[in-house]
Structures are given as C-alpha cells and as structure tokens.
A and B are shown apart, each in its own frame.
Chain A
Amino acid sequence: MTPRQPASIRQEGKVFPIAFAKGFITIVAATLILVVLCLVFAPSSVSSGALAGSLPFASVLAIVGLGQMLVVQQGGFDLSVAGGVSLSVVLVTHYPAGDDAQLLPAILIALGCALLIGVCNSLLVGYMRLNAIVATIGVNALIYGGVFAVSGGVPRITTDLLATIAGGSLFGIGNAVVFAAVALGVVALIMKKTVMGRRFEAVGASPALAATIGLPVRRYQMLAYVFAQLLYCLAGILIAGLTTQPTAFQGDPLLLPSVAVVVLGGTSLLGGRGFPVSTVIAALFLNQLSQFSYAVGVPYSAQTIIQALALGFGIGIHSIRLPNKNKKLSTHSNLEETNETYVS
C-alpha cells in the first residue's frame, strides 16, 4: 500500500485524542477551580513556602498513583502498595544506618526486593489466577513480615545524602518533584511511543481484542504488577529522604489515596485505558485540597470527608459516561438473534 496524503480524514476534524480528553479535562478543570479558590480564600496555601513544603509529598503520591494506575488499567487492584513503600523506606534507612556510603547498595537491595515482590504478585494473579485483592492482601502481609524482620518496628534516622537527594532542590524545584516528573515522563513515553507500551495500553483497553490479534494478554497484565512495585520502591526511597525518622508503616496512608488518584484521573476500576498525566494532576489536586482545607482552618477529620466527597464526585462523573461492563453478558456470541440481549 503506497502512503498517500491522508486528505479526507485529517482535515475533516482536528487531531485531538478524544479519549485522552475525557478524564483530563475534568481533573484539570477541578484543579484550576481549586487553585482559584486557594488564591481567593487561602492565599497562604499557594505561597511558595507552602508549595515547597507540600509538593514533595504530592510527588510521592503521584509516583505511587502511577504504579497503581498500571495495575488498575489492566483490570487489577494492588493492595500491596502499603507494604511495598514501607519496605523500601526501612531498607534504605536501616541498612545504611546513617552511613552515606551504604546508601547505594541499600537502594539496589530495595529495587531488587521490589522486583521480587512484583514478580510474586504477578505470578499469583497471572499464573495462579488468584483474585487480585486476595493475592495482594496476602503479599502485603508477607512484605510487612519483611519490614519487621529488617527494622524490628523501630524507626532509624535517614542518611544525610538521601535527605539531600530527596529533599534538595534543583533550580528552585524540589528534587522530589523532579523525580515525579521523570517517572511520569518515562511512563508516558513508554505508553505512547513504544510498541510494548502501545500493546500494554491495548491489552488494558480490551483484553478480548488483544487476544484476537495474538497478544499474550496475561503476560502484559503480569508486567503491570512488576512496574508498579518499582514505582512504589521509588516513592519509598523519596519518603525515606523527606522524613527524618520514618516509621515502619510509612506506606499505609498512601494505599487509599493511590486508588483515589487513579479513579480521579479517569481510569476505570474495571480496567481500560490508563491516564498517567491525569493521575499525576489528580495527585496534585488531592494534595492541594488538603492544603486548602488546612489553610482555611478545617480540621483533619473534615478534610478526609472532603476527600471522600471529591472521590465520590469524581467516580460519579466517570461512571455516568462509562457503560457498566459488569452487566455485560458473557461473550457467548452465537445467540440466536442479534437482539437477544435482555433489557434490564
């Protein structure tokens, strides 16, 4: 087939990915409104000082959210976020015990453990066919076993080097923010530009379609758990640097927000296309929402309720657009007549 000038199609409409726009516009609009609200009612929450304090933690959430998104878009669910983050936190604080020279080996060990956990999750879900929730609950408990074996539950002070790496800044931008941006860049680049990433997206968007063109669906689904753990590990390393004396449960408070940002970013919990940029913006949104609430004097408790409402609202918007795939009949295609689907 000779490439011809694609006349009719490209000029008829603008080249704009509609699927991308869905979750993106919602979350961007919400974030902008929030920023305006902040400027008007709580300017202190968007001051450079406040941002410098809060953005690193938003970055950590963004990285964890990216990992969770990879799993969720493949129709999975990863409850081992908490363990994954906590383990990498204790590994990079306990092993060096304040000695900068030991930091690199500690980070390598943490990455190795993350790989191992990811493979473990993916084998249980992809090969043993366990329900993702059950498998990751179990693995999470095992990881916490590891966390206590390493730390004994006692926090240890982080190394200076790591504190500089994670807490320092580059041209006025916090290093943690740079790490999150790089993580986002890598994930987005792989997804949009590489053959593997494009196929990964397609498997998430429709496993049935991917199977008909001969893609190894299960292998892509398993891959998600491995990459997710690597991202959790990165987040854990950053937390270890940002917090002077991190506890053994540093990952726990990230579990629910990681799911929340994925959902707010427009990725369906039933699987489908993943939206990395929207997920990261959702992390900024959630973070700024807490900052705003804090600045206008809302107590911690009410902040959580506001988050729940934002989450419910976000899901509500997305679920109205999405048909409920749950209700779909099993793909028994030789129904006698095409209209033999039963209306509810």
Chain B
Amino acid sequence: MPSDQTKTGATGSNSDIVLRLGTISKSFGRVAALSDVSVAFHAGEVHAVLGENGAGKSTLMNIIKGVFKPTRGQIEVMGKPIAAMTPEISASLGIAIAFQHPAVLSDLSVLENLRVALPDALFEGTSAQSVGRALLDGVGLHVPLEARADTLSVAQLALLEIAKALAIKPRVLILDEPTASLDQDATDMLFARIRDLVAAGTAVIYITHRMAEVRQIAQRVTVLRDGRKRGEALVRDVSDQDLLGMIVGRALGSTFPPKADETGREINLSVRHLSGPQFKDISFDVARGQILGVAGVAGNGQSELMRALAGLLPWQGEVELTGSVLTSQEILHKAAFMPSDRQAEGLASGLTIRENASLAALSGFARFGFVNRKRELEEVAATFQALAVKAPGIEAATASLSGGNQQKVVMARALLSQPGLIVADEPTQGVDVGARAEIYRILRDVSSKGTPVIVNSSDAAELEGLCDSVIVLSRGKVVATLTGADVTEAKIVAAAVSAGSHAEVRQDQVAAQRSGWRHFVQTDNAPVIPLAVVIVLLGLYGFSQNTHFLSAYNVANMLMLATALGFIAMGQNIALLLGGIDLSVGPLAGFMVVVASFFINDGQSGLMILAGFALMLAAGVGVGLINGVLIRFANFTPIAATLAMYIGLQGCSFLLRNGPDGYINSEVVAWITWEFGAIPVAFIVLVAVALGGEYLLRQRRLGWQLRAVGSNEESARRIGVHIDRMYILGYLGSALFTAMGAVMLMAQIGVGDPQQGVNYTLSSITAVVLGGTSLKGGRGTFIGTVMGAILLMEVLNAVAFLGLSQTWQYVFQGALILIAAVVYSTLRNRAAANP
C-alpha cells in the first residue's frame, strides 16, 4: 500500500469528513438493532466495519443508503445534515453500495442490468456497448454483454454488482462482504481498484468478518457488537488481539444447562467426508449425550450443511447413525429439522398449533388411515405441557404466540415424530431470553436421552454455553474442531474471522466469445424462428390441400382476425411480463365495442363518432387504473383483481345492451378494414406497434424496468424501480392495447353485442404463451406475441377451410398451447440446469 495514502487517512482532519453519523439508533419492533452509533468516514480512506453476525453492520449500511429510516440520530453528508435519507437522495449525493446479495436481475442481459441500474448520462456520447465493456473490464469481468445474467456464476454476479457501484464514480462506496464469493485473483483485482479509488479521494466503507482483509486494505476500523459501537482505531495502531477482544464478549443473560461429562461414551452419530452444495469434506462425531455446534461467519456453508444433515439437500459421503449407514432419503425421515426461518418453513400459519405439532407424527396417531383425535389431543397436549408452551389454547393460531413459544411448537413437532437425530438451525433466533434457557434445557434433555443434537448458531457465545464440541466452518470447510474446555466464544470467533482462505477457482466462466447465433437462441426472441417456420409450413400445407387457402381474400381475412387478437395479446403480454396476468382483457374489449355501438353509428355526426372513440379510450384508462390500484394498494392478487373486473365488465356490457344492437358506422368499418393488396393496413399498424414495443422493451429504461419488476421485484426495488408505478403503468398499457384490439373487434362484428369479446381472455393468453412469454414474468416479446396470434388464427382458419369438424378446432388449439408450453419450459429448464 502506498504510504502516502495511509498518511492521508491517518492524519485526516475534520475537514475531509465526507459522511458523519451521529448517535444513530434503530429498532425493529422491540428489538434494538443499533443504539447510539456515532462514526465519521473520511475521504481517501478505507474504513472497515467489523463485527459478529447480527452486530448491526448491515442495518447501519442500509441507514446510510436510505433503505431504512433510523429511529433516532443524524446523518451528515459533506457537513450538511440530511433530514430524511432515501435511496434517491443517497444516489444523488454519490453514495453507492454493492450489496452482499447482488441486486442483479437474472432475466435481463448483463448490459441491460447495467443500464437499468445506472443513470442514462453515463451512457451518453459513445455507444452503450463500449461503456458497458469498460465497466466490466474495470472489475475484470469477462463475459459477453448480451449474456443473460442467469448464466453468470456467483462470483461473476458479485463482480457485476461491484461494477455497478463503481460506475457512478462514488464519493462514498459501501462494500458489503464483497469478497465472500471471490477467488484470490478477483480479490486482488478488487483491492487494487479500491486503492485507486481511495487515492482519488473516495471514502470506502468496507464491511467484513475477516481480520486478514482489514489488515490488507483498511486504514481505520470500527467494531460493532450488539448494535453498539465497541471501538474505533487506526488499523496500524491496533493488534489482532485487541480487535478480537472488541468483537467478542456479548452479554447473554440466559443460563445454560450443565454439559455432558466426557468420559468414554459411545459415538452414536458419525459423519465422514460429507460434501454437498457450499460445503466440502466435513467429518465429525457426536457421542451419546453430546450436543454438536456448527459455527462460522454466516453464509459459509452452515445452513447448507444443516439441510443436508436433515436430508433436504443432496450430499456425498457417509453418515452413520447408531450403527447403521443412512442414505439421503432415509435421513430425511430419521432426522427432525428445526429450520431457522420459522415463518417460512417452521410453521404453517394457516394451521392451528395442534395441527402444526402433530403433523410429522400423524401416522402414529392413526388406525386404518384415520387419525384418532383423542390420542392426538392427549399426546400433543402432553408434549406442549412438557415443553411449557404458553398459548391461548391448543387450537390457537401460530401468530398469537411469541417467538419462543412458536419455536417450542416446532420442537414439539420434532419430539412427537420420535426422531433419530435433531438438526436445529438457529434455534433461538427471535426468541426472548427466558424462553432461550428453556430451549437449551429441552435440547440438552433430548440429547441426554440418546438422540444426537446438532445446533447451528451464528451466536458464538450461545455455542460456548450449549455445546460439548463445535466445528467452525469457513468457505464450506471445517477450519477448527473445538472440544471440551476449548469451546469458548473467543476461540470460535478467532477461528471464524482468522480464516483467510479464498473461494476456490470455480469460475465456470461463460465462454468469452460466443457466436451471435448462440446468443440469439438464448434471447426472448428465439421462439420467433420456430413460430415463423410453423406458420409457413401450415400455410403451405393448407395451400396444397386447397389453393384458396392462400388466396388474397383468405389471407386478408386471417390477418384481420389476427390483428384484433394481436393487439389484445400484446396487452396481456405486458401483464405477464410484470409477473401478473390480466383476465379482464376479453370482457373489456367486448364492453368497449358495446360502448362504441351507441356513438359510432351510421348517420352520427363526426363529433359523436370521435366521442365514441374517446369513451373507449376512457374505459381502458379507468379499467387499467382500477386493476393496478387493486393489485398494488388493496393487496389483491392479479388473478383475483382481474377476475372481479372480468365479471363486473361483463355485467356492464349487459347493462348497456340486452342483445346485439347498434350497428357500427359502415364508413368507419371500411376505414378500419382498409386493405393494401392482401394486407390489411391495420395489420401493418399492428406490426409497427409490436416493433415499437419491442424497441421500448429492449432499448429503453421503461422496458428494462418493466422486465426487472417481473424478473425479481425485490432486486428491482433495490436498484430504484418504483414497483407500484410500474404495475399501474403496466395494467394501463394492457387496457390501452385492449382498446386498440376493441377497435378491430368493432369492425369485425359490426354491432354492439354484449356476448362478444369474452373469449379473447383465453385466446390472448394462448397467443402470448405461443409467443414464448413466460408466465413467471420478466421474459417475453411482443413480436412473438403477434406471431402467436397469427398462428392461432391460421390454425382456426385452416380447420374451417379444410372442412374439419369443430372437434379439431379445439384439439389443435389445446395441443398447440400445451406443446409450446412444454417445449419452452423444457428448454428453459435445460438452460438453467447447465448455464
């Protein structure tokens, strides 16, 4: 490290303070995550923030970035106090963050990921490609700009995230565990970049668990513990020993049951060379009556190891439980797993606590497949009593229980299933102090009765109190096995934070140069080619059977029908790209035609006719807004909101007209159906609109944001997309495209008929699926959608033309959508399986 930088940082006066936090406090409910943290960050300095899991580091960063609002305290940037920090303000002040879990959208390309997250100004002047290339080169990321982000490895995603943060030449750069997934080369490169930035005057806030990295890169270090600032020092003035002293020493406040005595007990669980996702070559033994702890910095393979031991993840190696060697499937039924995320995996909130507790033991209460209610009640109640579960009743909802009692319900389920092994992942997370002691007692009880217990905890002090032996993991490997008197918080933390090894080089780099063709196959537009082939082949087949099939008249007829469906399907496509669905498009189109049938008649003045069109548009705006608002602000699911709209609109159509009436102005119809040769002009408009939509989708911020929301709402929010606004815009767009479809429909049926239009909901979904849009959101194309509409209409027309019965019309439609869906989903799964 050049010595002058160190000097700048070390002698930094108040004048070069870029960011100052004053007595920041933040609580989540009753839990205080941060209390009175004051810290100043200097320009031209790397300031490391060190602390154990849950010390408050990430909360602090989120407060700086404006993601969380502090409960108390001030933030000053360049000496100016900021009243309420938001992600937008922090970005405008030049505060950039690289999240530990990259906010990268897997359905967008690398370049699109850069462009959607970064300001347009960055790409002005030269070509976007060259800017993107330069950004990637800056972090040594050698992947094609067109590659879809889901083909990148974890390390490459981390580099992409860092590239985004560096791109805006930040004044303050926050790096949250940036090296967690990087190998040695990438880490060296990153450190070189950091030194360059610091030399140029950027303040870098570097969050880490690893002391070695602090020594390598940082000038100043702040240690957090239990949400409080434990100390701040210049790195060169402080010893590792002192730093460790600041990190450990949490006050626990709960008591632990006595440990097992160590004398010559038989081993009842033996694990040898266990490897799986995120962990490698793990071996340990658990003796009868002992509890084994798993420790390490969060995200180093502990949770994967726990899931593997519970039979929930695949593994290789050998597991021997009380003398018998188990397979993964056997261990799934032997082990009782207590997951760390109680809300997601530990409890079913729809079931009562009795149902939750007895779930794994039902067959034990049953005879001939029928559950004996009395036995179930007795055993569950007895277990609840043994565990001292405090609940309003045995049929209480899980939500009415405290965290500790919820965890006891999870334990009751584990115990009732009479397991051969208990795997407890963070058993005291979100549990109050009193209940913790009880949970420790129960685990110790179970263990002393002979069931092996394995506990993963990010709290080293808890492991010290509870466990007879502890394995410490780093980057998926055991770096220390502590037993007996060595099981202390200090030794556990020391082993975890001193481990310096880097992620192995498993950079399954996307081949740097792929041909354009390979890229095209990956893109959303790939289905266009097979669709075109099928359309042409079907056309030729029809022609061979009956030459009139490709006559100008019939082609124009097909295209006219496809135009109506095409517009409506494009609307549907927007909803699906968002990750939603719009069931109301069909009845909306029908309703608009009914509305039009009161104004756009023969003999009406031009003004009335214009009013008719305006009302169709207004109906679209209204319906789109209501759909969007219901979904985003009234918490309706997209299906529920648009289903209610579907029924309502159908009613409105019937309210206006009882049966077909109100003939559409023939002159207007003639204009709409005007043909240019065999091609209706409306169809040309459709194609132009589709191409325009495609351009927006691929090349403009609006399109990237739309796909970002559908791809991953959470990541989209983090890169600053307004989710609510996108949803409302999206459903507006859907309704407006439907209005264009309704104009075509009006010309086709020529009369206001309340029964028409409804079928377009399902046809539009069919067309969109044929076009290759994924119902999962984020992926899709307007061109494919239009081709899907053409193919669908061609098939229906061919059935009629070839004199086949109505049976075939349905069979072809059904077969078409199923084949398309199966083919696309198989291809996608294959692409996801081997990127």
Contact = CB atoms under 8 A, between A and B. Distances in A.
Interface of A: 1-4, 6-10, 12-19, 77, 79, 124, 128-131, 133-135, 137-149, 152-153, 193-196, 198-199, 201-202, 204-206, 208-214, 256, 259-260, 263, 269-270, 272-273, 299-309, 311-312, 315-316, 319-320, 322, 324, 326-329, 331-340, 342-344
Interface centre among B56, B363, B640 (most CB of A within 10 A): B640
5 contacts: A3-B379, A138-B818, A145-B808, A212-B337, A301-B653
A333 B339 CA distance: 9
Nearest to A198: B362
Contacts of B425: 333
Nearest to A201: B351
Contact of A336 (B53, B340, B378, B769): B53
Given A15-B395, A301-B652, A315-B644, A3 B378 contact: yes
B67 to A, nearest CB: 6
Given A19-B350, A260-B643, 14 more contacts: A4-B382, A15-B393, A194-B369, A201-B351, A206-B350, A209-B347, A209-B359, A212-B346, A259-B643, A301-B653, A331-B341, A337-B55, A340-B58, A344-B717
A205 B349 contact: yes
B414 to A, nearest CB: 9
Contacts of A77: 639
Contacts of A16: 393, 395
B646 A256 contact: yes
Contacts of B648: 304-305, 308-309, 312
A138 B814 contact: yes
Contacts of A304: 647-648, 650-651, 654
B351 A211 contact: no
Contacts of A342: 62, 67, 714, 717-718
Contact of A9 (B393, B658, B718, B814): B393
Contact of A134 (B68, B351, B384, B775): B775
Interface centre among B54, B341, B807, B813 (most CB of A within 10 A): B807
A212 B310 contact: yes
Interface in B14-70: 28, 31, 33, 53-59, 62, 67-68
B655 interface: yes
Given A9-B381, A205-B348, A336-B53, A137 B762 contact: yes
B382 A336 contact: no
B371 A299 contact: no
B332 interface: yes
Given A137-B765, A138-B818, A10 B394 contact: yes
B290 interface: no
A336 B310 contact: no
A317 to B, nearest CB: 11
Contact of B807 (A17, A149, A327): A149
Contact of A213 (B360, B373, B381, B646): B360
B775 A331 contact: no
Contacts of A333: 303, 339-341, 344, 425
B101 A335 contact: yes
Nearest to A306: B651
A337 B57 CA distance: 8
Nearest to B579: A326
Contact of B347 (A1, A206, A305, A337): A206
B389 interface: yes
Interface in B774-822: 775-776, 805-811, 813-815, 817-818, 821-822
Interface stretch (B76-84, B616-624, B629-637, B660-668): B629-637
B815 A138 contact: yes
Contacts of B417: 213
Contacts of A201: 351, 355
A6 B381 contact: yes
Counting from the closest, the 4 A-B pairs by CB-CB distance are A6-B381, A141-B814, A13-B393, A301-B654
Contacts, number: 320
A211 B312 CA distance: 8
Interface residues of B, number: 128
Contacts of A143: 814
Nearest to A206: B348
A6 B374 CA distance: 12
B451 interface: no
Interface in B349-374: 349-352, 355, 359-360, 362-363, 366, 369-371, 373
A149 B637 CA distance: 37
Contacts of B825: 128-130
A261 to B, nearest CB: 12
B322 interface: no
Interface centre among A8, A79, A315 (most CB of B within 10 A): A315
A304 B643 CA distance: 12
B818 A139 contact: yes
B829 interface: yes
Name the prevailing secondary structure of the B interface residues.
helix
Contact of B640 (A124, A133, A263): A263
A163 B30 CA distance: 66
A110 B382 CA distance: 49
Name the prevailing secondary structure of the A interface residues.
helix
Given A6-B382, A199-B362, A131 B337 contact: no
B176 interface: yes
Contact of A195 (B299, B371, B393, B400): B371
B550 interface: no
A306 B655 CA distance: 12
Contacts of A273: 348, 350-351
Contacts of B268: none
Contacts of B384: 6, 9
A2 B378 CA distance: 9
A195 B347 contact: no
Interface centre among B55, B336, B762 (most CB of A within 10 A): B762
A9 B350 contact: no
A303 B397 CA distance: 37
Contact of A193 (B371, B635, B810): B371
B385 A6 contact: yes
Contacts of B349: 205-206
Contacts of A128: 822, 825-826
A329 B714 contact: yes
B323 interface: no
B298 A336 contact: yes
B327 interface: no
A141 B818 CA distance: 10
B391 interface: yes
Contact of B359 (A129, A198, A301, A322): A198
Interface string B383-410: 1111001011111110010000000000
Given A19-B352, A128-B825, A209-B347, A334 B303 contact: yes
B369 A196 contact: yes
A12 to B, nearest CB: 6
A322 B350 CA distance: 10
Given A141-B813, A319-B635, A208 B762 contact: no
A135 B815 CA distance: 10
B355 A202 contact: yes
B645 A308 contact: yes
B633 to A, nearest CB: 11
A7 B815 CA distance: 61
Contacts of A1: 379, 382-383, 386, 415
Interface string B569-602: 0000000000001000000000000000000000
B392 to A, nearest CB: 4
A130 B651 contact: no
Contacts of A15: 393-395
A49 B359 CA distance: 47
A269 to B, nearest CB: 5
Nearest to A334: B299
B345 interface: yes
Contacts of A133: 581, 765, 775
B84 to A, nearest CB: 14
A322 B395 CA distance: 19
